[in-house]
Amino acid sequence: MPKNFEFLFDFGGPNSYLAHKVLPDICARTGAKAVYVPISLGGLFKLTNNQAPLVRYADTPAKRNYEMLEFDRFVRTHALPFTMNPRFPINSLQLMRAAIAAQHLGCFMPYVDVIMAAMWEDGADLTDADVVGHILNKAGLDSAALFTLAVDPQIKAELIANTEAAVARGAFGVPTFFVGDEMFWGKERLGQVEEALTKS
């Protein structure tokens, strides 16, 4: 029986984008389905006392430089149309709340695809609600409905609950994957994720 596995992500993390782009190939090879779980990376960092790599390795330039080298290698290996957003790091809280709203409105994956591309391929200013609205409407999504629902207290609470549940399971960054109860962190573990999915 094909397995489902969970993909915990935040649009603000470029590694979430990289994982998002290669997951379809993994799913095709394994017959598994990726279940996307929106979380708040900022909230996750706060709850786990974690920091972004560029901050964490600020005093270890060799480690920081190697992280960037590995990042670039991944992009080249998979021929991804990645562009570093000039506004990085970006507060993605509103985008993630809208992702929860998109789940409720039945347009989740189109929303994810559009926002991922706008953020990490087009370099769009997704801190500007007018820009986001234009991008969503152009893609045939109802930005007004998404924005309205995204500020609903229940939607906000759902994103918080997703994030707290991730922490309770041991997550500390994105992308994080769960195959059953087994956790894998980082795009570098995708080979291990695929191996776990092929086990009988």
Give the Cα separation of 99 and 13 in Å (integer): 15
What pLDDT score was predicted for residue 2?
55
Tell me the mean pLDDT in the region 133-153.
Answer: 98
What pLDDT score was predicted for residue 1?
45
Classify residue 144 by burial, with Cβ atoms within 10 Å: 0-12, 13-18, 19+. Answer: exposed
What pLDDT score was predicted for residue 175?
98
pLDDT digits (tens, 9 = 90+) for 78-102: 999 999 999 999 999 999 999 999 9
Per CATH, the number for 4-198 is 3.40.30.10
Domain boundaries of the chain, sorted by first residue: 4-198
Which secondary-structure segment (H or E) carries 148? helix 143-150
Confidence of residue 54 (pLDDT cuts 50, 70, 90): confident
pLDDT digits (tens, 9 = 90+) for 161-189: 999 999 999 999 999 999 999 999 999 99
Which secondary-structure segment (H or E) carries 137? helix 129-138
